[in-house]
């Protein structure tokens, strides 16, 4: 109990401060740089980029010891949801089992009860991914205007994790965003608010 | 050189144009609006460091389980909700999007507490919570426009002054179950129209999107282009628009934090809503001056006693402006003439006011002006007898004006008494009059004055338009009985054209009109229809019973056209069955009168 309190009070803010101000841009030294991790040393890229006909590397250490091992590394979940690779690769880890999806939250990114529910709806806790970008809607900017900005991408016309996040940390923004969200510029790239 | 200058001019123009475009866009966006709480936001309430805008309400991950990726906890406040005697809606505690707005606007939760930050490290703001003031609605929502009720067909069927929900503009969205929310009127992301409104409130367009008030579009309050300068109650308060018509509902109502909770009035005292403008400066006439006169309908004496749902027989004795006027429907009295034959049908100033019919039934919408008066003066439950004690006492004027009475002034029904030959045209036998022909302000413009028409107040009691002496031994003059002579020609009366002894009584004996005549009407007493014809109902302080062989008796008998007989004692003279008839009116008129016999009341 005390340990948990200490974790919440000390570690989490520390984590935020560290993650909030990523020291520099680039993949090197970023949280996705697994070269120093024992389990990925042999082929750190293979954590995400698996060569054709090759099996993924050995299981990475689990953040959550109670995680369902069979579910963690397979991606039928993502595929069933119709999400593109830009999402499927991410949620292999970021479904709350391997990597915590958000600070201080244990519950999975995607509901266990309704696997594959990405679409908008009541009770949704996360921004929808794997959904088609709205075609003509006065609440959103047109898709071509969004992609013309050069930062936000819409792979296959869909909103994916990689629309907003850059896993290689080229921009060096906090939360590995594709661009700075100062003045909520990232949000307002799509949302007309 | 010149060319360069030209170039700079063009560049400046372009720059200015760009600025205008950017400014216009900023208005339509949450960016740079008052809801931009980032450190770069325009308002006094903003973050100290945080430069994101959406984060104060939304988060892309691990949001609260509510639709727009909500980044705040719901307030746990229990709210006092709106109550009114006239609302048909079932108003519940706020829910859904309304709770999200209230998470800041009820002042209970810190503005910087967002779910995406640990509780220990909220966003540091210039103010911890929303500061007290107009934007802090508090946990008391009883002074705010109701939310959290279902606006459906059932409600609009019950409340005829609400539009059917399906014809309300789609720009004003209702909740998932058709319930009204803050977001029905407000778009938190768009402050183009001010107050984050979804539709303009100029001429109260946003209000009348739902509220369908009878008579409003043509009412003088909706159409008035008078400027609101010179208001007496809230002179320092700035109204959003310059004219009465543009401010619309907001002249009298306040949607949030209304001082008078029920019906969301702008003033604690309901009459202030009227007198604010009707005290000489904004509106044409000074009603405040009228109701300050000796005999008056002064709404300032009591507050909070009027209720639109009141019943005439059970309500407390009171008078308010809204007892006679419906401010949503008032129109200018284009006729401008009170005395005359036109006064029957209800006119502009009292459009859609409630009333009581001559048969005693309460109606929400009076058809005739007298019905508005009868609401209070109709049945004498809370009124004493008139100041003059007469043979037959009518408690309340509804009994006096009954068309079945032996005689009455033609307010509720016309008369066919051919003997009334003193009438000044355009009045004639068969004409009808209104209460306001006699009861009116002494300065009414209908009487040649400069003030407002209507019984607001008069120097003549009881609220009479003209002087009317009722004391015995009054020297006859045009002034003494000015009220009567306004319709009944003084020459005709004093030349004895109808009752042959008028001059002898009125001039010679200095007897007031009221000694013999009861002006409203006389209910059928113990005698037959002949006893109280011609409004004869003696003032017992002047006229007393005569001793006759059959005992004491005071009696008037109508014995035909221009003839009758009296049994009474008055001014030291005793008449016993004293007959009269008018020799000047013999002949054709008498015959014609007989021809319509039976119709003679």
Collect all residues of chain A within an 8 Å Cβ-Cβ radius of residue B67.
120-122, 124
Q: What are phi and psi of B205, to 5 degrees?
A: -55, -40
CA distance linking residue B456 with residue B476, whole number of Å: 28
Task: Tell me what the pLDDT averaged over chain A comes to.
Answer: 65
Collect all residues of chain A within an 8 Å Cβ-Cβ radius of residue B30.
193
List pLDDT tens digits, range B532-569. 889 999 999 999 999 888 888 898 998 888 899 999 99
Task: Quote the domain boundaries for residue A145.
Answer: 129-193
Cβ neighbours of residue B485 closer than 8 Å, sequence gap 6 or more? B478, B493
Can the peptide bond before residue B462 be classed as cis, meaning omega within 30 degrees of 0? yes
Collect all residues of chain A within an 8 Å Cβ-Cβ radius of residue B51.
182-183
When mean pLDDT is compared over A4-18, B207-221, B582-596, the highest value belongs to B207-221
Cβ neighbours of residue A153 closer than 8 Å, sequence gap 6 or more? A86, A147, A162, A163, A178
pLDDT score at B526: 63
CB contact under 8 A, A193 and B54: yes
Q: What predicted TM-score, i.e. pTM, was given to this entire model?
A: 0.80
List pLDDT tens digits, range B160-177. 899 999 999 999 999 989
List pLDDT tens digits, range B275-316. 999 998 898 889 999 999 999 998 888 877 888 888 888 888
pLDDT-above-70 percentage for chain B: 88
pLDDT score at B299: 84
pLDDT score at B536: 92
Q: Does the interface predicted TM-score (ipTM) exceed 0.90?
A: no
Answer whether residue A15 is part of any domain.
no
Answer whether residue A160 is part of any domain.
yes
Answer whether residue A96 is part of any domain.
no
Task: Tell me what the pLDDT averaged over chain B comes to.
Answer: 85
List pLDDT tens digits, range A149-173. 889 998 888 888 889 998 888 888 8
Taking 70 as the threshold, does the pLDDT of residue B272 lie above it?
A: yes
Summarize the confidence of residues A68-86 as an average pLDDT: 41
Residue B198 C-alpha, separation from nearest chain A C-alpha, in angstroms: 14
pLDDT score at A66: 42
Q: Would you call A122 an interface residue with chain B, using a CB distance cutoff of 8 Å?
A: yes
Answer whether residue A179 is part of any domain.
yes
When mean pLDDT is compared over A26-40, A135-149, B249-263, B425-439, the highest value belongs to B249-263
Query: Which of B36, B100, B118, B122 to probe the A interface (max A CBs under 10 A)?
Result: B118
CA distance linking residue A66 with residue B332, whole number of Å: 80
Summarize the confidence of residues A3-27 as an average pLDDT: 52
Taking 80 as the threshold, does the pLDDT of residue B586 lie above it?
A: no
Taking 50 as the threshold, does the pLDDT of residue B179 lie above it?
A: yes
Burial (Cβ within 10 Å: 0-12, 13-18, ≥19) of residue B468: buried
Lowest mean pLDDT among A75-79, B130-134, B218-222, B473-477: A75-79
Nearest to A184 among B52, B67, B118 (CB): B52
Summarize the confidence of residues B187-208 as an average pLDDT: 94
How many domains does chain A divide into?
Answer: 1
Summarize the confidence of residues B110-117 as an average pLDDT: 91
Confidence of residue A59 (pLDDT cuts 50, 70, 90): very low
Answer whether residue A42 is part of any domain.
no
Collect all residues of chain B within an 8 Å Cβ-Cβ radius of residue A191.
54
Taking 90 as the threshold, does the pLDDT of residue B37 lie above it?
A: yes
Confidence of residue B488 (pLDDT cuts 50, 70, 90): very high
pLDDT score at B116: 87
pLDDT score at B416: 79
Three-state secondary structure readout of chain A: CHHHHHHHHHHHHHHHHHHHCCCCCCCCCCCCCCCCCHHHCCCHHHHCCCCCCCCCCCCCCCCCCCCCHHHHCCCHHHHHCCCCHHHHHHHCCCCCCCCCCECCECCCCCCCCCCCCCCCCCCCCCCCCCEECCCCCCCECCHHHHHHCCCCCCHHHEECHHHHECCCCCCCCHHHECCCCHHHHHHHHHECC
pLDDT score at B396: 80
pLDDT score at B10: 45
Answer whether residue A94 is part of any domain.
no
Answer whether residue A28 is part of any domain.
no
Pairing of strands B555-560, B563-570: antiparallel
pLDDT score at A79: 36
Lowest mean pLDDT among A157-166, B142-151, B189-198: A157-166
Q: Would you call A187 an interface residue with chain B, using a CB distance cutoff of 8 Å?
A: yes
Would you tell me how many other CB atoms lie within 10 Å of the CB of residue A180?
Answer: 15
Query: Which of B53, B187, B190 to probe the A interface (max A CBs under 10 A)?
Result: B53
Please name the residue of chain A whose CA is at the shortest distance from the CA of residue B188. A193
Taking 90 as the threshold, does the pLDDT of residue A123 lie above it?
A: no
| Side-chain-side CA neighbours of residue B62 (13 Å) | 18
Answer whether residue A158 is part of any domain.
yes
Q: What are phi and psi of A45, to 5 degrees?
A: -70, -25
Do the Cβ atoms of B499 and B366 come closer than 8 Å?
A: no
pLDDT score at A56: 47
Distances (CA, A) of B343 to A72, B323, B368, B462: 88, 19, 9, 20
Provide the 3-class DSSP secondary structure of residue B494.
helix
When comparing pLDDT for B576 and A23, which is higher?
B576
Confidence of residue B105 (pLDDT cuts 50, 70, 90): very high
List pLDDT tens digits, range A34-52. 787 776 777 777 677 755 4
Collect all residues of chain A within an 8 Å Cβ-Cβ radius of residue B52.
181-184, 187
CB contact under 8 A, A164 and B60: yes
pLDDT score at A118: 38
Confidence of residue A5 (pLDDT cuts 50, 70, 90): low
């Amino acid at each position: 109990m005390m340990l948990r309190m200490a974790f919440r009070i000390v570690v989490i803010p520390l984590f935020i401060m560290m993650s909030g101000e990523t020291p520099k841009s680039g993949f090197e030294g970023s949280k996705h740089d697994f070269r120093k991790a024992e389990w990925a040393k042999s082929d750190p890229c293979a954590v995400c980029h698996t060569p054709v006909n090759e099996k993924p590397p050995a299981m990475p250490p689990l953040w959550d010891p109670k995680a369902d091992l069979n579910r963690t590394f397979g991606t039928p979940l993502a595929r069933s949801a119709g999400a593109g690779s830009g999402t499927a690769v991410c949620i292999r880890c970021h479904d709350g089992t391997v990597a915590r999806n958000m600070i201080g939250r244990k519950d999975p990114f995607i509901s266990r009860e309704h696997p594959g529910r990405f679409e908008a709806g009541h009770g949704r806790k996360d921004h929808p991914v794997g959904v088609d970008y709205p075609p003509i809607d006065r609440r959103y900017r047109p898709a071509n205007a969004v992609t013309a900005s050069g930062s936000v991408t819409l792979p296959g016309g869909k909103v994916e994790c990689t629309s907003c996040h850059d896993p290689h940390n080229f921009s060096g923004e906090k939360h590995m965003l594709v661009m700075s969200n100062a003045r909520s510029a990232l949000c307002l790239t799509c949302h007309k608010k | 050189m010149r060319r360069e200058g030209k170039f700079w001019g063009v560049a400046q123009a372009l720059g200015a144009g760009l600025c205008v475009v950017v400014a216009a866009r900023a208005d339509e966006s949450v960016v740079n609006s008052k809801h931009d709480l980032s450190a770069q936001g325009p308002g006094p309430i903003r973050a100290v460091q945080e430069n994101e805008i959406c984060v104060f309400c939304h988060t892309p991950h691990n949001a609260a389980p509510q639709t727009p990726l909500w980044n705040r906890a719901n307030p746990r406040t229990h709210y006092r909700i709106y109550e009114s005697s006239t609302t048909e809606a079932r108003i519940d505690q706020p829910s859904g999007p309304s709770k999200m707005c209230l998470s800041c606007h009820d002042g209970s939760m810190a503005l910087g507490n967002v779910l995406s930050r640990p509780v220990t490290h909220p966003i540091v703001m210039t103010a911890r919570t929303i500061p007290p003031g107009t934007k802090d609605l508090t946990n008391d929502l009883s002074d705010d426009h109701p939310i959290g009720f279902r606006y459906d067909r059932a409600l609009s069927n019950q409340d005829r002054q609400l539009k059917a929900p399906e014809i309300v503009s789609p720009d004003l969205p209702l909740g998932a179950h058709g319930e009204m929310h803050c977001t029905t009127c407000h778009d938190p992301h768009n402050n183009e129209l001010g107050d984050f409104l979804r539709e303009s409130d100029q001429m109260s367009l946003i209000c009348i999107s739902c509220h369908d008030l009878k008579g409003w579009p043509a009412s003088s309050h909706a159409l008035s282009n008078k400027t609101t300068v010179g208001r007496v109650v809230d002179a320092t308060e700035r109204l959003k628009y310059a004219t009465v018509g543009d401010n619309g509902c907001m002249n009298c109502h306040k949607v949030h934090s209304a001082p008078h909770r029920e019906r969301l009035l702008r003033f604690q005292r309901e009459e202030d809503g009227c007198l604010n403008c009707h005290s000489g400066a904004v509106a044409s006439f000074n009603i405040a001056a009228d109701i300050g006169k000796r005999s008056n309908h002064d709404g300032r004496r009591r507050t909070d006693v009027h209720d639109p749902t009141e019943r005439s027989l059970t309500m407390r004795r009171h008078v308010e402006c809204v007892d006679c006027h419906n401010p949503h429907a008032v129109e200018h009295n284009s006729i401008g003439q009170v005395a005359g034959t036109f006064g029957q049908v209800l006119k502009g100033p009292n459009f859609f006011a409630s009333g009581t019919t001559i048969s005693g039934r309460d109606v929400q919408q009076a058809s005739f002006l007298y019905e508005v008066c009868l609401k209070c003066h109709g049945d004498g439950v809370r009124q004493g007898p008139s100041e003059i004690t007469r043979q037959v006492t009518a408690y309340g004027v509804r009994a006096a004006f009954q068309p079945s009475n032996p005689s009455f002034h033609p307010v509720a029904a016309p008369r066919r008494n051919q003997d009334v030959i003193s009438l000044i045209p355009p009045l004639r036998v068969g004409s009808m009059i209104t209460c306001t022909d006699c009861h009116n302000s002494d300065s009414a413009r209908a009487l040649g004055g400069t003030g407002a028409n209507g019984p607001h107040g008069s120097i003549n009691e009881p609220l009479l338009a003209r002087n009317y002496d009722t004391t015995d031994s009054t020297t006859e003059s045009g002034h003494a009985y000015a009220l009567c002579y306004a319709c009944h020609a003084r020459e005709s009366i004093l030349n004895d054209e109808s009752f042959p002894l008028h001059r002898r009584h009125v001039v010679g004996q200095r007897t007031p009109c009221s000694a013999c005549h009861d002006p409203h009407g006389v209910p059928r007493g113990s005698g037959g229809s002949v006893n109280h014809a011609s409004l004869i109902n003696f003032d017992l302080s002047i006229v007393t019973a005569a001793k006759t062989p059959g005992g004491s008796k005071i009696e008037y008998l109508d014995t035909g056209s221009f003839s009758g007989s009296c049994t009474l004692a008055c001014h030291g003279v005793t008449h016993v069955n004293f007959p009269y008839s008018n020799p000047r009116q013999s002949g054709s008129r008498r015959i014609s009168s007989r021809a319509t016999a039976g119709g003679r009341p």
